[in-house]
C-alpha cells in the first residue's frame, strides 16, 4: 500500500491509500522489470522505484479526478417544446428574416464605410444578429431531439453534441460570423478618399460626350472632394455578408410548424408561404442586380447608365423600387424595353435568377394546383352524384318530395363527410380509437335499458362494431312490416314510434308534437355529428303546426310514442326475426348508432351471456308496458268469484301480472278482454317469448356442440368458461351424448374431474345405450375408468351394448379387455343373442384363463344354455363336447360343489315345517322329498328340482 498526500480544491490536505492491485501498470515497464531481475538486485531496485513512482502518479491522478467529479456540474437539457425556448426560436426566425432584407440592402445601396462606422442601425443589426445567432449555437449543444428511427426524445448530452457537431454546427458558425465587417475593419487601406464626381468624370470622360455623368446612388454628407470611395475589392468582400442568408433555413421549419399547428387554413397558409418565398427571392436579386451596376461603376450602357435620369439624385427607396421592378419582371418571365441586361455580368445574373425563378414558379404552381385539385375532387364527386340522381329521378319519375329529400341527403353527406369517425380515426392505433369511441358512445349505451348490466368488454365490442347514421327531420326510418337488419339506438334527436300511418296528431308521453316537413337522410359510416350539422337542422324545423308530407306526397300525420337519446327502436323485429310492427319517423335532425346483424351474429358465440342479458332486458321492458295495459283492462271488468282476474291470482303480484306464460284458456279469455293496441302488444309479447325460447334453445345447442368439442380436445379453459356461463354439465347433443362420454372416450382425465366436480350425471345413457364408462373401457383408458368408477358409474345398465365387445374379447383371447369390462361392473353371466353365456363361450373356445376369470368374478358354473341346439347344457358339457380337458378338469369340481350347494339349499327349503289346523290341534307335517345324491346320478343327467 502506497500512502499519497494530496491537496483538495479547498486547500485542505488529505491522505489517500492507493492499493497496488488497483494501479494499472505499463506493460513495457513490466517486461523491462522481468528482464532486469535476471541481471541482479540493482536493476530490480531501480525497477521497483520506477514502479512506485508510477503508482504514486496514477494514484494522484485518480484522486484528483475523484475530486473533480465531486464538484462537476452539468447544464440542464433544453426541451424543444419549452415555452421560453419556443419564444427564443421564433425570435431567431424573425432575426433571420430581418437579416435577409437588411444585408442585401446594405451591400447594394450603402457605401461600405458608412455601414461600418457611421450608420447606427447597421451597426446595431450586425452586433445583435451575431450575438443572437451565437446564443442559438450554444443552446443547440443542449437541445434534445427526436430520434428519426425510434421516435424517442434523446436527452443524452453526448449524443446531442455529437449530432450537432457532425453537420449543422459548422454551417451555423459560417452563417453567424460577420466575415465582411471583420475583414473590412482589419483592412482600412481598401478605401480611397476622392470625390465621386471626380472619379466618375475621369472614368467616363471619353465615353460620355453627350450625357452628364451619373451621380452616386446615395448623396454623401461629406464634401465632394473628401468623400471616401471603396475599392472594388472592398465591394467584393462585402458580398460575404450574404452568408447570413443561410440562417433562412429556420424559415422552412417555421412554415412547417405553422402548417401542422393549423393556425391558418390551407389556402391562407399556401398563399403566405409562397408570397414570402417570392418576395425574399426578388428582393435578394434586386439588390444583387443593382450591386453589379455599382461594381461596374454605373457604365453608360448598363441598365442603370441608360436610365441615369431615373436614378440621379433619387433616394435609396426609389432606386430600390426600380431594382425590385426589374427583379419582378425577370421572375415572371417578362421583359421591358428600358430595363434589360447588356453586359456579360448582367446577363449571367439574369440567367441564374430566371433559372431559379423557373424552379420557384414550378413549386408555387404545384402547391396551388394540389390545393385546388383536392377541393375540386370532392366537388366533382358531388356534381357527379347530383347528375346521377337527376337522371335516375327523371328516368324513374320519382315524386318531387322524394327527389328533394334525396338531394338534401346528398348535400348533407357532402358537407359532413369530413367528420366521419372512420376517416378521422383511421390514422390512429386501436387503443386511441377505443378511447375516443368510449368518450363518444359509452355513456349513451350504458344508459340504454337494453344494455343494462352488460359487461364493459361487451360494450367496447359493440362500439367498435357500430356505425353512426344521420337523418334529417320527417324521414321514415322504418315502415310497418319491414325486415329489420340492424338495431338502432338514438344518440341525439328524437324519433316517433307510430302504431299506424293514418291521420292524427303526433302524441307522445310528454304531450303532442307535429313533425316538420322536408327532410333527408345520411349514412356516413362511423361518423360523429359536428356542430355545423346540428345547426343545419334549424333549417328544417318549422312551426309546431306545420303539416307533414310523406314521400308519396299524401298529407298525413303520425301518432305514436316519442323516443330520445339512449333509447332503441326496431329492437323487437331485430331480435325475433319478425316483421317490424310499427313505423318510425324522425322529428328532428337525428344521429343514430347502428348495430348491424352481422356483428350481432358473431357476438352470439363470443358474448353469449351478454346476449342473454340483452334478451332478458328486452323481455322485461316489453312485459312492463304490457302488464300496465292489462291492469288497466282488469279495472274495467266487474269482479266475480270465478272471473279471469281471480283465476290469474297465482300469476299476479300486487295486482299486476308477473309473467305472460299463462294457460291456454286464460290466454284466450285475455285476448277477448283486450283490443286494439293492447291486443297487439299481447301478441307481440307472445312472439317475443317464443322467439326468446327458440333463441335460448339455439344458443344452448351451439353451446353444447362447443362444450362437447372442448371436452373431446381436453380444453379445460373452455369447459370451465361454459360451465360458469350456466351450461349444465349433463347437457347432451342430438344423440344424447354428454361431455362426460366424449371426455371418457378420449381419455381426458382432467376434464372428467371437472365434470364430476360440477355434478355431471355419470349414469346417463345415449341413444345407443352406452354410458361414459363404456367409452373409457372400450378405448383403453384405465385412468378415466377409475375416475368414473369412483363417481359411482357402472356397466350394469349397458349389458345389451357391451355384450358383443365382451364376447369378442373372449374369442380374441384378449384377457386384459375382458378384465377391464368385468372390473367395470359387467355382468359375468350375460348371454349372447343366441342364449349362450360368457362361460359357455369361454368353455367352447377352450380359453381356460377366461373361464377362471369369469368364475372369479362370480359367473354361475351351472348356468344353462338357452340355445335351441344345446338347450339346458352347462358350460362343462360344452367343454366335454369340444374335448377341452383342462377346462373340464377345472369346472368339474366347481360343478359338483355347486350342485351340492344347490341340493342342500333345496333340502332346507323343503324341510321347513308346515303349520295346519286339524280338530283344533296344531299338527306339523313333514313333506318328504327324495333327491338323488350327485354320486348316484350320471354327469350328463339334467337335474330338475
**Helix%, strand%, coil% for the chain, nearest 5:** 60, 10, 30
Q: Is residue 365 part of a domain?
A: yes
* Higher per-residue confidence, 686 vs 34: 686
Query: What's the pLDDT score for residue 716?
Result: 92
Q: Give yes or no: residues 645 and 732 share one domain.
A: yes
Identify the band that residue 35 occupies on the pLDDT scale cut at 50, 70 and 90: very low
Q: What is the CA radius of gyration of the chain?
A: 54
The stretch 277-302 carries a mean pLDDT of 84
Does residue 44 surpass a pLDDT of 70?
A: no
The stretch 128-136 carries a mean pLDDT of 90
Query: What's the pLDDT score for residue 632?
Result: 60
What does each C-alpha distance from 107 to 154, 177, 272, 286, 314 come to in angstroms? 41, 16, 27, 11, 18
Dihedral sign for Cα 411, 412, 415, 416, please.
Answer: negative
754 and 716 in contact (C-beta within 8 Å)? yes
Q: Residue 682 has which C-alpha cell?
A: 299481447
Query: What's the pLDDT score for residue 680?
Result: 67
Query: What CATH number corresponds to the domain at position 903?
Result: 1.25.40.20
DSSP conformational letter for 927: -
Identify the band that residue 337 occupies on the pLDDT scale cut at 50, 70 and 90: low
Q: Domain span at residue 860?
A: 826-945
Does residue 810 surpass a pLDDT of 50?
A: yes
Q: Give yes or no: residues 241 and 356 share one domain.
A: no
Q: Of 620, 643, 405, which is closest to residue 522 (Cα–Cα)?
A: 405
Query: What's the pLDDT score for residue 895?
Result: 87
Q: Average pLDDT over the chain, rounded to whole?
A: 73
* Higher per-residue confidence, 105 vs 43: 105
Does residue 738 surpass a pLDDT of 90?
A: yes
Q: Is residue 834 part of a domain?
A: yes
Q: Give yes or no: residues 457 and 433 share one domain.
A: yes
Alpha carbons 189 and 421: distance in angstroms, whole number: 73
Query: How many Cβ atoms sit within 10 Å of the Cβ of residue 536?
Result: 18
Does residue 773 surpass a pLDDT of 50?
A: yes
Q: Is residue 291 part of a domain?
A: no
Total domains, the chain? 6
Q: Give yes or no: residues 354 and 420 share one domain.
A: no
Q: Give yes or no: residues 621 and 679 share one domain.
A: yes
Q: Is residue 805 part of a domain?
A: no
* CB-based burial label for 538 (10 Å; 0-12, 13-18, 19+): exposed
Query: What's the pLDDT score for residue 550?
Result: 35
Of the listed ranges 60-64, 95-99, 460-464, the least confidently predicted one is: 60-64
Alpha helix (H) residue ranges in 835-919: 838-845, 848-856, 875-881, 885-910
Q: Give yes or no: residues 759 and 619 share one domain.
A: yes
Query: What CATH number corresponds to the domain at position 329?
Result: 1.10.287
Counting residues of the chain whose pLDDT is more than 70, the rounded percentage is 68
pTM of model > 0.75: no
Query: What's the pLDDT score for residue 19?
Result: 38
Q: Give yes or no: residues 634 and 762 share one domain.
A: yes
User: Strand, coil or helix: what is 835?
Assistant: coil
Of the listed ranges 267-271, 274-278, 537-541, 712-716, the least confidently predicted one is: 537-541
Of the listed ranges 65-69, 173-177, 804-808, 872-876, the least confidently predicted one is: 65-69
The stretch 908-920 carries a mean pLDDT of 60
Identify the band that residue 831 occupies on the pLDDT scale cut at 50, 70 and 90: confident
Q: Residue 345 has which C-alpha cell?
A: 455580368
Query: What's the pLDDT score for residue 58?
Result: 54
Which of 571, 606, 641 represents a domain boundary (last residue)? Answer: 606
Query: What's the pLDDT score for residue 898?
Result: 86
The stretch 206-216 carries a mean pLDDT of 37
Does residue 411 surpass a pLDDT of 70?
A: yes
Dihedral sign for Cα 486, 489, 490, 496, please.
Answer: positive
Identify the band that residue 669 occupies on the pLDDT scale cut at 50, 70 and 90: low
Query: What's the pLDDT score for residue 28?
Result: 40
Render 16-51 in DSSP notation, one character per residue.
Answer: EEE-GGGSPPPHHHHHHHHHHHHH-HHHHHHHHHHH
Q: Give yes or no: residues 661 and 522 share one domain.
A: no
Strand partners, 191: 230
Does residue 181 surpass a pLDDT of 70?
A: yes
Q: Is residue 819 part of a domain?
A: no
Q: Give yes or no: residues 714 and 838 share one domain.
A: no
Does residue 194 surpass a pLDDT of 50?
A: no
Does residue 474 surpass a pLDDT of 90?
A: no
Of the listed ranges 121-130, 238-247, 505-514, the least confidently predicted one is: 505-514
Q: Residue 477 has which C-alpha cell?
A: 326510418
Q: Is residue 221 part of a domain?
A: yes
Residues 6+ apart with CB under 8 A from 490: 563, 564, 565, 566, 567, 568, 569, 590, 591, 592, 593
Of the listed ranges 220-229, 585-594, 651-660, the least confidently predicted one is: 220-229
Q: Of 77, 90, 86, which is closest to residue 160 (Cα–Cα)?
A: 77
Alpha carbons 632 and 21: distance in angstroms, whole number: 103
DSSP conformational letter for 302: S
Query: What's the pLDDT score for residue 417?
Result: 66
Query: What CATH number corresponds to the domain at position 461?
Result: 2.60.120.10
Q: Give yes or no: residues 154 and 41 share one domain.
A: no
The stretch 182-203 carries a mean pLDDT of 54
Q: Is residue 818 part of a domain?
A: no
Query: What's the pLDDT score for residue 630?
Result: 66
Does residue 10 surpass a pLDDT of 50?
A: no
Query: What's the pLDDT score for residue 112?
Result: 67
Which of 571, 587, 606 represents a domain boundary (last residue)? Answer: 606
Q: Is residue 404 part of a domain?
A: no
pLDDT tens digits along 708-735:
999 999 999 999 988 987 888 999 988 8
Which of 794, 818, 835 represents a domain boundary (last residue)? Answer: 794
Cell 431531439: give the residue. 145
Query: What's the pLDDT score for residue 527?
Result: 39
Q: Give yes or no: residues 257 and 269 share one domain.
A: no
Q: Give yes or no: residues 441 and 555 share one domain.
A: yes
Query: How many Cβ atoms sit within 10 Å of the Cβ of residue 108?
Result: 25
Render 430-475 in DSSP notation, one character per residue.
Answer: HHHHHHHHIIIIIHHHHHSGGGTT--HHHHHHHHHH-EEEEE-SS-
Report the relative pairing of strands 548-549 and 555-556 from DSSP bridges.
Answer: antiparallel
Amino acid at each position: 500500500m502506497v500512502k499519497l498526500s494530496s491537496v483538495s480544491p479547498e486547500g485542505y490536505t488529505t491522505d489517500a491509500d492507493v492499493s497496488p492491485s488497483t494501479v494499472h501498470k505499463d506493460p513495457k515497464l513490466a517486461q523491462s522489470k522481468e528482464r532486469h531481475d535476471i541481471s541482479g538486485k540493482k536493476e530490480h531496485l531501480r525497477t521497483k522505484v520506477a514502479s512506485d513512482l508510477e503508482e504514486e502518479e496514477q494514484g494522484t491522478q485518480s484522486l484528483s479526478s475523484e475530486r473533480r467529479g465531486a464538484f462537476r456540474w452539468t447544464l440542464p437539457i433544453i426541451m424543444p417544446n419549452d415555452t421560453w425556448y419556443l419564444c427564443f426560436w421564433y425570435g431567431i426566425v424573425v432575426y433571420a428574416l430581418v437579416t435577409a432584407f437588411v444585408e442585401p440592402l446594405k451591400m447594394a445601396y450603402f457605401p461600405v464605410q458608412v455601414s461600418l462606422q457611421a450608420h447606427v442601425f447597421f451597426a446595431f443589426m450586425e452586433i445583435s444578429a451575431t450575438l443572437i445567432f451565437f446564443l442559438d449555437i450554444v443552446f443547440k449543444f443542449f437541445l434534445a431531439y427526436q430520434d428519426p428511427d425510434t421516435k424517442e426524445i434523446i436527452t443524452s448530452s453526448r449524443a446531442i453534441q455529437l449530432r450537432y457537431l457532425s453537420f449543422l454546427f459548422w454551417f451555423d458558425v459560417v452563417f453567424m460570423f460577420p466575415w465582411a465587417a471583420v475583414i473590412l475593419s482589419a483592412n482600412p487601406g481598401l478605401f480611397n478618399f476622392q470625390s465621386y464626381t471626380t472619379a466618375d468624370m475621369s472614368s467616363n470622360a471619353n465615353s460620355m460626350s453627350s450625357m452628364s455623368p451619373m451621380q452616386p446612388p446615395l448623396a454623401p454628407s461629406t464634401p465632394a472632394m473628401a468623400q471616401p470611395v471603396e475599392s472594388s475589392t472592398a465591394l467584393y468582400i462585402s458580398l460575404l455578408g450574404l452568408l447570413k442568408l443561410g440562417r433562412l433555413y429556420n424559415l422552412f421549419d417555421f412554415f412547417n410548424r405553422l402548417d401542422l399547428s393549423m393556425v391558418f387554413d390551407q389556402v391562407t397558409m399556401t398563399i403566405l408561404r409562397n408570397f414570402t418565398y417570392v418576395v425574399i427571392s426578388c428582393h435578394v436579386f434586386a439588390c444583387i442586380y443593382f450591386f453589379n451596376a455599382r461594381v461596374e461603376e454605373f457604365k453608360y450602357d448598363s441598365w442603370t447608365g441608360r436610365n441615369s435620369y431615373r436614378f440621379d439624385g433619387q433616394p435609396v427607396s426609389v432606386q430600390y423600387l426600380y431594382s425590385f421592378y426589374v427583379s419582378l419582371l425577370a421572375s415572371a418571365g417578362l421583359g421591358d424595353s428600358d430595363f434589360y441586361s447588356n453586359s456579360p455580368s448582367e446577363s449571367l445574373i439574369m440567367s441564374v435568377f430566371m433559372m431559379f425563378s423557373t424552379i420557384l414558379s414550378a413549386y408555387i404552381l404545384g402547391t396551388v394546383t394540389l390545393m385546388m385539385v383536392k377541393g375540386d375532387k370532392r366537388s366533382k364527386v358531388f356534381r357527379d352524384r347530383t347528375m346521377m340522381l337527376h337522371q335516375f329521378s327523371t328516368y324513374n319519375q320519382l315524386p318531387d318530395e322524394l327527389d328533394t329529400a334525396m338531394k338534401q341527403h346528398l348535400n348533407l353527406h357532402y358537407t359532413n363527410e369530413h367528420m366521419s369517425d372512420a376517416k378521422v380515426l383511421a390514422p390512429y392505433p386501436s387503443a386511441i380509437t377505443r378511447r375516443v369511441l368510449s368518450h363518444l358512445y359509452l355513456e349513451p349505451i350504458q344508459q340504454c335499458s337494453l344494455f343494462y348490466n352488460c359487461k364493459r368488454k361487451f360494450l367496447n365490442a359493440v362500439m367498435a362494431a357500430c356505425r353512426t347514421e344521420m337523418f334529417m327531420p320527417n324521414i321514415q326510418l322504418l315502415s310497418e312490416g319491414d325486415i329489420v337488419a340492424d338495431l338502432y339506438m338514438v344518440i341525439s334527436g328524437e324519433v316517433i314510434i307510430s302504431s299506424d300511418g293514418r291521420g292524427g296528431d303526433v302524441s307522445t308521453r310528454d304531450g303532442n308534437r307535429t313533425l316538420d316537413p322536408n327532410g333527408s337522410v345520411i349514412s356516413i359510416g362511423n361518423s360523429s355529428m359536428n356542430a355545423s350539422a346540428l345547426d343545419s337542422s334549424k333549417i328544417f324545423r318549422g312551426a309546431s303546426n306545420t303539416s307533414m308530407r310523406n314521400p308519396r306526397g299524401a298529407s298525413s300525420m303520425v301518432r305514436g310514442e316519442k323516443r330520445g337519446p339512449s333509447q332503441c327502436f326496431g329492437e323487437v323485429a331485430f331480435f325475433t326475426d319478425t316483421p317490424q310492427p310499427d313505423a318510425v319517423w324522425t322529428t328532428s335532425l337525428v344521429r343514430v348508432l347502428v348495430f348491424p346483424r352481422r356483428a350481432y351474429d358473431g357476438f352470439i358465440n363470443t358474448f353469449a351471456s351478454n346476449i342473454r342479458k340483452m334478451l332478458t332486458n328486452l323481455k322485461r321492458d316489453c312485459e312492463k308496458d304490457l302488464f300496465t295495459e292489462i291492469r288497466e283492462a282488469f279495472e274495467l271488468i266487474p269482479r266475480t268469484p270465478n272471473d279471469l282476474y281471480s283465476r290469474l291470482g297465482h300469476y299476479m303480484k300486487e295486482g299486476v301480472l308477473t309473467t305472460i306464460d299463462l294457460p291456454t284458456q286464460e290466454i284466450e279469455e285475455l285476448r277477448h278482454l283486450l283490443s286494439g293496441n293492447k291486443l297487439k302488444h299481447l301478441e307481440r309479447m307472445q312472439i317475443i317469448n317464443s322467439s326468446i325460447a327458440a333463441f335460448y334453445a339455439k344458443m344452448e345447442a351451439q353451446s353444447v356442440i362447443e362444450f362437447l368439442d372442448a371436452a373431446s380436445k381436453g380444453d379445460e379453459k373452455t369447459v370451465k368458461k361454459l360451465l360458469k356461463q350456466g351450461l349444465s354439465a349433463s347437457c347432451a347433443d342430438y344423440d344424447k351424448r354428454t361431455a362426460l362420454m366424449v371426455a371418457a372416450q378420449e381419455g381426458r382425465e382432467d376434464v372428467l374431474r371437472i365434470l364430476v366436480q360440477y355434478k355431471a350425471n355419470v349414469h346417463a345413457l345415449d341413444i345407443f345405450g352406452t354410458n361414459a364408462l363404456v367409452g373409457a373401457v372400450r378405448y383403453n383408458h384405465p385412468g378415466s375408468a377409475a375416475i368414473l368408477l369412483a363417481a359411482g358409474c357402472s356397466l350394469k345398465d349397458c349389458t345389451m351394448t357391451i355384450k358383443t365387445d365382451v364376447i369378442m374379447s373372449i374369442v380374441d383371447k384378449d384377457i386384459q379387455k375382458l378384465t377391464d369390462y368385468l372390473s367395470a361392473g359387467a355382468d359375468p353371466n350375460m348371454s349372447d343373442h343366441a342364449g349362450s353365456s360368457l362361460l359357455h363361450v369361454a368353455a367352447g373356445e377352450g380359453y381356460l384363463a377366461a373361464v377362471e376369470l369369469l368364475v372369479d368374478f362370480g359367473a354361475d358354473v351351472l348356468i344353462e344354455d338357452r340355445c335351441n341346439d344345446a338347450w339346458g347344457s352347462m358350460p362343462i358339457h360344452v367343454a366335454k363336447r369340444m374335448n377341452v380337458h383342462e377346462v373340464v378338469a377345472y369346472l368339474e369340481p366347481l360343478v359338483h360343489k355347486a350342485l351340492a350347494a344347490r341340493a342342500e339349499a333345496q333340502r332346507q327349503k323343503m324341510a321347513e315345517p308346515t303349520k295346519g289346523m286339524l280338530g283344533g290341534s296344531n299338527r306339523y307335517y313333514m313333506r318328504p322329498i327324495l333327491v338323488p345324491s350327485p354320486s348316484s346320478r350320471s354327469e350328463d343327467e339334467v337335474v330338475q328340482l
